[in-house]
């Protein structure tokens, strides 16, 4: 864990000033990060984050914890002071020094499914949903009982408890040891450290931090960390053609944070409440301009760009629109399938062994206008699309369902070349349908996509053959209605002028 964050000290463009371990404020001293105040990342509410302090609890067997455990000293192997009290002390220290901090429990245990806390951890920002937790319910409610227990345990009122809860983070990960090794490898590759030997039982990074603790070398600046790594022989020789990864994120992975291994990250997380966008006008009003500006200024490596997109399908599609087939750039994308791989349009040769599409057409309303296209790659979307159309009142002419010939599954797309081929085939089908029915050449396609972001990116590159179109996002977290909502349209749908 330490190395995932400390490696960023070697990146001259990083906003990390210092990293420490086994030092600092007690209870949240396992790992801490200090950010440059002029380039500090925004927290979940948009404030500039100065410190991130972590309490790491790793367990050999699966398990869970509850909100009551956080009031128990035994939970952190202490005798008198609980994790919550340690968090309050750290929060008060940072608040007294006008420092915005995040106090994070990092663990491979989950919150117990039946515990009230489980419903109040935002799965994308990994913070507590403070507004929901402090919703004015009575002390006899489940939320009220949690607030009462925590406030009485800490000896504080609800106002201070609410402030503390706004600083708490919960990074609950299920990454295996092999998964953590993969993250370490990526961090080393991105920041100029020697990479662990594949399949080796140990790495150079397993033991040296214990030696550093023994010598009381537990806090590092850019200069001191580089000197320490050079002394240990951990600095890699500079590659002739280094590969740089650039990131776009709208949500956060507990451990695999794009900031740890990307040269630069476009952070759109504050624009969203979990997966739901805070303001639907922001898709085109602010997100699309920021995405376009970010992507168009990225340097290329012999015409190639490597992207990591941890974001909604709409943003993956929009990125493809910006870097379309006429951009002259070959885009490599990180894809979890489920192991992290690098996919590109030229990563393999397409053959008859690769799946194609199976299309189904269904007439909806002979008097309707437009086509709903249910793109079902990783999960079947037909049922949810039909439900949405029935509830929304949208009068469309037909429904086109597209499924891979190999079946709907997380493994239905084999590579970047396969994803690109499927995107080209789908765009060609849309064009052929329009050409076959001249009266519908200008009808709008409504795209409902469940697919790897790499496919969706490559589909966005085909926007010239697809538009006019409207994209939709599914409400996975049941934050609104557990259905679809329109996001971006190409070209934008004109709104009616207000009545006079």
Phi, psi of 454 (to 5 degrees): -65, -45
What does the buried/exposed string (b/e) look like for 266-289 if buried means 16 or more CB atoms within 10 Å of the residue's CB? bbbbbbbbebebeeeeebeeebbe
pLDDT computed for residue 475 by the predictor: 85
Decide: 30 and 56 in contact? Cβ < 8 Å: yes
pLDDT tens-digit map of 400-454: 999 999 999 999 999 999 999 999 999 999 999 999 988 878 899 999 999 999 9
CA atoms within 13 A on the CB side of 360: 12
Decide: 131 and 258 in contact? Cβ < 8 Å: no
pLDDT tens-digit map of 108-155: 899 999 999 998 998 767 889 999 999 988 989 999 999 999 999 999
**What is the C-alpha radius of gyration for the chain, rounded to an integer number of angstroms?**
25
pLDDT tens-digit map of 85-108: 999 999 999 999 999 999 999 998
Q: Is the pTM of this model over 0.95?
A: no
Across 27-31, 121-125, 420-424, 474-478, the highest mean pLDDT is recorded for: 420-424
Quick check: helix, strand or coil at residue 153? helix
**Tokens 């330490």 belong to which residue?**
2
Query: Measured between alpha carbons, how far is 345 from 185 in angstroms, rounded to an integer?
Result: 24
pLDDT computed for residue 479 by the predictor: 58
Quick check: 497 pLDDT over 70? no
Quick check: 478 pLDDT over 90? no
Neighbouring CB atoms inside 10 A of 303's CB total: 10
Quick check: 177 pLDDT over 80? no
Decide: 290 and 272 in contact? Cβ < 8 Å: no
**Averaged confidence pLDDT in the chain:** 90
* Closest C-alpha to 170, from 210, 128, 218: 128
Across 40-54, 283-297, 323-337, the highest mean pLDDT is recorded for: 283-297
Query: Measured between alpha carbons, how far is 336 from 451 in angstroms, rounded to an integer?
Result: 12
* Domains of the chain, each with CATH number or no CATH: 2-172 (no CATH), 245-343 (no CATH), 357-490 (3.40.50)
pLDDT computed for residue 481 by the predictor: 64
Which pair of tokens denotes residue 387? 């439900």
- Which has more confidence, 119 or 302? 119
């Amino acid at each position: 864990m330490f190395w995932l964050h400390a490696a960023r000290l070697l990146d001259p463009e990083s906003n990390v000033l210092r990293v420490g371990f086994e030092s600092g404020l007690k209870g949240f001293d396992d790992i801490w990060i200090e950010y440059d105040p002029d380039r500090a990342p925004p927290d979940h509410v948009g404030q500039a984050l100065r410190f991130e302090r972590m309490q790491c609890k790793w367990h050999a067997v699966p398990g869970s914890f509850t909100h009551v455990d956080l009031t128990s000293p035994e939970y952190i192997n202490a005798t008198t002071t609980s994790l919550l009290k340690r968090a309050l002390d750290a929060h008060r220290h940072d608040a007294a020094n006008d420092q915005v901090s995040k106090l994070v429990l990092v663990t491979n245990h989950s919150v117990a499914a039946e515990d009230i806390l489980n419903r109040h951890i935002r799965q994308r920002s990994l913070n507590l949903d403070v507004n929901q937790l402090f919703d004015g319910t009575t002390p006899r409610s489940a939320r009220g009982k949690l607030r009462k227990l925590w406030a009485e345990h800490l000896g504080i009122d609800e106002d201070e408890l609410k402030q503390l809860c706004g600083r708490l983070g919960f990074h609950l990960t299920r990454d295996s040891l092999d998964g953590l090794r993969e993250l370490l490898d990526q961090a080393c590759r991105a920041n100029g450290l020697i990479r662990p030997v594949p399949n080796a039982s140990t790495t150079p990074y397993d033991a040296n931090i214990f030696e550093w603790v023994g010598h009381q070398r537990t806090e590092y600046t850019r200069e001191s960390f580089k000197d320490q790594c050079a002394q240990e022989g951990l600095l890699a020789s500079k590659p002739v053609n280094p590969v740089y990864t650039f990131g776009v994120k709208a949500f956060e992975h507990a451990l695999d944070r794009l900031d740890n291994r990307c040269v630069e990250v476009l952070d759109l997380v504050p624009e969203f409440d979990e997966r739901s966008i805070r303001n639907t006008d922001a898709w085109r009003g602010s997100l699309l301009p920021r995405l376009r500006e970010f992507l168009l200024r990225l340097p290329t490596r012999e015409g190639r760009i490597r992207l990591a997109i941890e974001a909604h399908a709409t943003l993956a599609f929009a990125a493809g629109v910006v870097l379309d087939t006429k951009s002259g750039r070959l885009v490599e994308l990180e894809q979890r399938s489920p192991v992290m791989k690098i996919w590109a349009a030229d990563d393999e040769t397409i053959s008859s062994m690769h799946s194609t599409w199976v299309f189904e057409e269904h007439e909806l309303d002979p008097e309707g206008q437009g086509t709903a296209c249910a793109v079902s790659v990783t999960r079947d979307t037909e049922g949810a699309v039909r439900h949405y159309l029935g509830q929304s009142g949208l009068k469309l002419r037909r429904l086109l369902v597209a499924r891979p010939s190999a079946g709907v599954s997380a493994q239905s797309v084999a590579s970047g070349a396969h994803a690109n081929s499927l995107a080209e085939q789908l765009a060609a089908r849309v064009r052929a349908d329009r050409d076959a029915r001249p009266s519908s050449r200008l009808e709008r396609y409504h795209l409902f996509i469940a697919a790897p972001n790499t496919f969706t990116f490559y589909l966005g590159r085909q926007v010239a053959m697809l538009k006019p179109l409207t994209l939709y996002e599914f409400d996975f977290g049941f934050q609104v209605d557990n259905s679809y909502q329109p996001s971006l349209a190409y070209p934008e749908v004109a709104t009616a002028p207000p009545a006079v």
